[in-house]
Structure 1
Amino acid sequence: MGGLVGGADGSVVVVGVLAVLLVFAAATFVFLWRTRLAREARDAAVSRERALRRQFEAVMSSARDGVLITTRRGDVVLLSETAAAILGVTREEMLGRSIARLPLRIVDEHLRPVLSQEVFVPSVDDDVPRIVGVPGRRGAEDIRWVQVSSRLLTGDDDGEPITVTTIMDTSGLREAAEALSRSDAQFRKAMENAPVGMALVDLEWRLMEVNRAFAEMMGSTVVALRGTPFSALSHPQDISAETDQLQRLYDGYQARFSCEKRYVRADGNVVWAVLDVGLVRYPGGAPDHYVVHVRDSTDDRMNSELLAHRAMHDPLTGLANRTLLQEVLQRVLAKSAELEHVGVIAVDLDGFKGLNDRFGHATGDNALVHVAGVLRAAAGSRGTVSRIGGDEFIIVVQSPDCAAAMREIADAIHVGLRRPLQVKRHQIALNASVGIAVADADTVSGGPTSLLSAADAAMYRAKASGRSRTEVYDASMRTASDSQSALALELDDAIRRGDLVLHFQPVYDLPTRLVVGFEALVRWQHPTRGLLLPSAFLPLLEDRNLSVALGTTLVDQAAEFLAAQPGGDTWVSLNVSADQLGNSEFADRVLSSIGRYHLSPQRIVIELTEASLVAPNTRVRHELTELRNAGVPILLDDFGTGVSPLSYLRDLPVSGVKLDMSFVAGIPEDPAGARVSRALGALARELGLATIAEGIETEAQAEFLQGCGWRLGQGWLFGVAQPGQALLDMGLETGSGLIDPRPQEQDDPFASL
């Protein structure tokens, strides 16, 4: 019984022990399990903290703005890499240190020093940005401008407050703003001082801003023009001149455009302007405003119109020239319903060459201007008056009763010319021969030129019938006109064949009566018409531009004649007009002939005719100077006629002068002619020029001219022009008389003769 009880108690004890062990094991398991969970939670928190720290560091390092965290005492708790780079310090030297020990020189916007703690540890919560300057990267004087924003943060009740400061580098923005401001100032300065007009125009084509040049061009002010519709300044006929171009520019079909139009100034005057328009767009491509350059082209336009007018008009009389005449005639013939409504009047002055020879080219020009006025008055609104050359005029008439109208115009011309031209104390009577041709199937068969030829033929019939009269064209006049045209066609071949030859008129030394030179005069040895004098064919040279070809051909003939002379002291003068010079072809031929025939340059003399056509500083003058410098003398023909030849002695490289025969004709009986001859001789001697008198017909004239100082002379008294071989056969007694190409400086200008 007792054993059982003891056994039972032992079991109870065992069970109790086991229970205790189980409870302990369970508690241990629970403790270990909880410990494991806590460790895992701690590890996870640490891992999250590390991840968050890495993310925070990544954010801090990649942020454009720097971050600085300080305690209330000013100790640096955190300094991002960006902040350190902006402030120019390192994180290691600053973390845990007081902000007051920050090695920075900080200034405010007025460049006054500021303490670091005042900037980065404010006494109160103040997140208003502040701009300060810190040292830059380009030396001690460089300043980097930064924006500082500080915020005071408090944690839990027992937490210590901290200050979080963001630092943003504003140097780039500030520099960009300064650059933008500088660029804007430069643009405005350039716009204000630009020599051409400039305007900023909105998309509604209103002026937003203009410069002073534009305002002056429009006769207004800058203030008055702001806000004005640009089109309101346009000429009424040009208001929409740029509309289509603006639309194409707006739609992007073109980058810019230019146009020329008229504007009306504030004073009512009209100006021409060239617009250069460009469109400024936003970065996205949307249109913003127009930039317009406005250049005043009024002067250019006027010059262009003036040049166009000069190209179509005679510079002396202002009448239409040959080019415009052809255009007008073609137009009226094309538009006229009936040919009989169109006609042509040809007018040619009678005796105009004699007028020029006697009174000079200046008087001749005055006469042409006077005649032009008479023709304008006679034609009125019924015709176009033109000058086609020399003293030749053409009037194109268009009228329903053309024949009667042309008769009235012709009669008015004769009446108008009855009023003499006043030249100083002289009254010069002018007359004209007039030819009329009405358009019909016959006269226009060859086009406008045929109608002009018909009127020309009628005019020549008027001259042949006694001059100062009017003739109407009929078919019988065609034969004479055709004959003249045929002669013109032959002339080109005649020059190539050598049918135009030189005859030579002797020039004598008046004191010794020895031959010292010859004047070469051209003749046409026509195979059927015989020997033709210059008056029969020289006008045809100008019409067919053959003057240069003839001149170069005759140079060789003159050189060949000189080479055949037994002595080497005589010379030959060649008459040369201005239209044969200018392209150096004639000068080259003269110099090459001198070399080919082994002549002294002084033996070929250039006798310049029509000197009025030679303006100073032209290619013609340069060619004459080239010849003179090569040793070729230059003579001025028709010396003394008019006033202008005196200026030629200064402007042209003249070696000598030839007294015009109009002064020789009346001496010694004519006192006025005698005084002029004596005065001109004295002038030539004073200038050191060689002197030649032409047209000497009597011994009394020769003696008088010799007494006046004219050293050389020619004329019928000494002999007429003859072929070169005839003169060689005669064996004329010659003397030394080469002309010095340069005027003499000594008292005796004839020392070289």
Structure 2
Amino acid sequence: MTASAGSPKQAERCARARRHNHALVALGRRVWHEDCTFETAIAEICEVAAETLGVERVNVWRVDSARQQLRCVHAYIRDSGEHDPPGFDESLLLDSEYGDQLGEVRVVDIADVRNDSTVSASEEALGAYLRRHDIHSLLDAPIRAEGELLGVVCHEHVGSARMWSPEDYAFAGSIGDYVAVAYEIARRREIENRLRFLERHDPHTNLPNRDHLLEVAHTALRPLHEGDTGLAVIHLQVDPPAGHEGIDVDGFHRFLVDCAEHLRELTADSAALARVREDAFAIIPHRHLREVEALELAERCIDLVQTDAAGPRGYPATVTAGIAFSRDLAAPSADALLRNAENASIRARANGLGRCKVFNADRHRDLLKRMRLEQSLRDAFADGRLLLHYMPEVDLRDGHWRSAEALLRWRNDEGRIVPAGEFIEAAESSGLIVRLGRWVLLEACSAAMRWPARNGVAPMLRVNVSARQFEEAGLAADVDSALAESGLPPQRLCLEITETLLLRDTDTAAKTLARIRALGVRVALDDFGTGYCSLGYLKRLPIDTIKIDRGFTAGLPQDRADLAIVQALVGLARNLGIDVVGEGVETQAQADCLRACGIHAVQGYLYSPAVDNDTLIAGFAAQHS
């Protein structure tokens, strides 16, 4: 028989429903905010559920699918206000009639456990649990998320049987939903925390990653006191030996994980440790270290990786360390500090400088300056701001210009003409010299085609060949191409090489020179006497001309040793049928001395500096008039 509208029973049910709803709303305000943890939310839910339903016990059970069990994860006793009393974490089998109902209904409503087949027919452990806690009535709400049974919230009435109202059912179901939401929030927070962790940690070793270490370094950077080295960073590069048998990717990966664990134990609370590369670690000590202390720590780390982490079988890893200090920073920069340490490690590894290298600020500044120079040179080449000047070669017998040496120049951003001596090393080290060399060959050959002939003989063109060019297999092909494209007869071209090129690989040098001579091109040995070239090379190699270095010319005629060397070289060259050119002639006395020694061709500022092609052509023409 139902209560009529407006009856006391109906009013009571409405009031109960309002209390339940108010309790749920208030509970939501208390638990659905960022500062509320999962544990706090579950505790609050249990307390409100117990108070609202007037039950003594509210427990939250979680499904253990692997074991087909329910495991109590939170318990609340209303009378004592106690959470998780001793022995609360009990387990019950899920494979029962009670367990089957959890997967099917919104609420399990049991007014009297002694007479209800759902629990009386279930396994013995459940009955024992109910008797042990004097539980007479249950109102249990399954916890579900996306159709999956996660667990159950048990509202347990003790001491006597109890009839549950429809309002109680609705409230209990909502409590189950609240717990499900708490689990979902906890799951999402766990995923978010894991993602945040992975953003700043290496997933294999759980060490902080480079981004995390940058934050540590940034926070630790501070103004230095006099004599303080500042914050130190040690970069450890770990490499397996190239070509070592038995080394595989997985094995090396496991080794790096072992390295991380041993380094973690070594640094403990004294330093921040991070995996900053797949095969590298970095350490930032918590206190400022003197250089010798940093070196000692780096050596201990290297020994640790190569001994303890390598294991009894001695994994054959190579470890190098680079150390950098914040004292060497032009401005506070965590990124620059870590890069400095890594660069020092790279130098130690690549140049065989030992197991450990301290970053050198002066050397780094020189390196940056060279890198900027290389880039500027590339830009100048691309923009057409490279040009050639020519140093005339004079015949001392009649004073006429008989040939000219092509010299590379660079017009920089300020308009200054920069001589090759200031940038040729950067061109060599960057590899740009090969492209520049091809350009110089073609440009000079094309320019020489405009030089006027004297008595039917056009001047000789001399072009320097760099070490990198000479080592290129295609040098002879480049020369042949430049001659063909410009139309310059090969007998008008002479390539100048230095003694050091011959020392690198004599046999290869001989073959290269033979290919060049086969084209009809001549070969000169530049700066002769400054290196350690055996005089026997002059007999074995196809050399047409030697150019005596300006270092010997400068002492003439007063320096007797220089004079004796020049005289000996001229005599040797004459006997071998080789021409001789004197370089760096700046005074008439030097010119007269060289003429007396039997040298007829010279270069130097006494006659002309290096000039552009138009000026050179005018000079040739003036002497022919």
Greater RCO structure (CA 8 Å; 6+ sep): 2
TM over 0.5: no
Higher Cα Rg, which structure: 1
- For the aligned pair, the TM-score class normalised by the smaller chain equals 0.3 to 0.5
Question: Normalized against structure 2, the TM-score is what?
Answer: 0.44
